[in-house]
Amino acid sequence: MKANVQWSISDRNLDTAQANSQRHLAISVQAIPSGERAPLNLCLILDQSGSMGGPPIKTVRTAAQKIVHSLSPQDRISIISFDHEARVVVPNQLATDPATINQAIEGIRAGGGTSIDAGLKLGIEEVAKGKTGTISQIFLLTDGENEHGSNERCLKLAQLAVSYSFTVSTLGFGNHWNQDVLEQLADAGNGSLAYIQNPDNAIQEFSRLFSRVQSVSLTNAYLILTLEPQARLAELKPIAQVLPETIELDVRREGEKAIIRLGDLMTDTPRIILTNLYVSQLLEGTHTIAHVEVQYDDPALGSSLSTDKVLIDVIAQNAYQANPDPQVQQYILALAKYRQTQIAETKLQEGDRTGAITMLQSATQTAIQMGDQNAATVLQENITQLQTGQDLSEQAKKKTRIASKTILQ
């Protein structure tokens, strides 16, 4: 397997009369299908606290069993359940006996409190047993607050998982989980955040995440952006991912290099990284302002590889003619929708209802402009509730968080 890097820029043309020109650079990174994919090493960490009793725990068992039946005999599976403590339901093993594995899943029963970090710690230990030559993924499902655990410890565990090249995706079940915590875990773990609004959605969301990890071919990918002297990154939040979901990315600086961890690379969905940069005044002509490469691991080969360096250039014109890229504009809108919604949430937490409404209105218009009508509907419903003096329900807050990060289907 190899990685493919492509780029586009908000406007490739620059005005030679401008002292500085702001541009948004979109970098697309994707795995190219070729040869055999490494086996999957999947760990399911399932909340079995008392609040999961009844239909929730039944549908989660069914969703987990469906995934087990979808695994190939070369794939590996481990299953952890947790309440106020964690236990191994299925130790890490090849998925050669799905009937026995599913019988073990059937034994999961609801009861007790919630300690997410206990489940995550035990899950990391199990998935580590099968990490060699595999694509290691963790699905963490919970329906509640981490009442018997530490959210700070959870975040450190997600970061530890990433250091082992494991990916952590989170699923919030019902309306009483902490969206801040699960989003932070998914973002830190280079994974995805899912919202299971009611038991009937459990199989659909598990299947969606499972389909996503099945397309993962390359792991532990890093984007290395090297800027020429005439280009510089914006000071505040210069780099974010906008696809498959919006995430603010940490940037490590090494001289003129900006290094960003991407995590997994998929064959069916690119990771789109949006960079906000400034280009200083240039003489007329074509100029290289940066080059980009991606380093990654191919678990099937057991090797670390790198793409060729891709040059990024602009055209400085004495008679400037704007040449905007419409796709990059869509990426800019996706990031704006996310940030506007985040500001609205912060203002609401601070008691600034009017400010929250204003920012939600901006986010709604942004969603409409980018054609994300479903997100616009969710955001407008929030505006209506706030304008009529109501508080946002937990369901509304969670739907809003998902709408801010993705294009709703």
Per-residue pLDDT reduced to its tens digit, 304-313: 999 999 999 9
Residue 91 near residue 76, CB atoms below 8 Å: no
Residue 139 near residue 106, CB atoms below 8 Å: no
pTM score of the predicted model? 0.95
Give pLDDT, residue 13. 98
Q: Which residues of the chain have pLDDT under 70?
A: 408-409
Q: Measuring CA to CA, which residue among 27, 32, 5, 408 is closest to residue 242?
A: 27
Q: What is the per-residue pLDDT across 199-210, written as a single tens digit (0 to 9) for each?
A: 999 999 999 999
Angle at 8 between CA 218 and CA 213, to 5 degrees: 25
Longest dimension (CA), the chain: 73
- Cα separation, 292 vs 399, in Å, equals 36
- Cα separation, 119 vs 49, in Å, equals 12
Q: Measuring CA to CA, which residue among 94, 88, 148, 150 is closest to residue 124?
A: 88
204 token code pair: 């659909």
Backbone angles phi, psi at 229, to 5 degrees: -55, -25
Give CA separation, 254 vs 23, 226, 235, 257, 313, in Å. 22, 9, 15, 5, 22
Question: Reduced to 3 states, what is the DSSP secondary structure of residue 298?
Answer: strand
Backbone angles phi, psi at 173, to 5 degrees: -105, 125
- The dihedral formed by the CA atoms of 363, 364, 370 and 375, expressed in degrees to the nearest 10: 100
Give pLDDT, residue 36. 82
Question: Reduced to 3 states, what is the DSSP secondary structure of residue 369?
Answer: helix
Give pLDDT, residue 409. 52
Give pLDDT, residue 34. 81
Backbone angles phi, psi at 291, to 5 degrees: -140, 155
Give pLDDT, residue 408. 59
Give pLDDT, residue 72. 97
SS3 breakdown of the chain: % helix, strand, coil, rounded to 5? 35, 35, 30
User: Could you give the residue ranges of the DSSP H alpha helices within 173-231?
Assistant: 179-188, 202-214
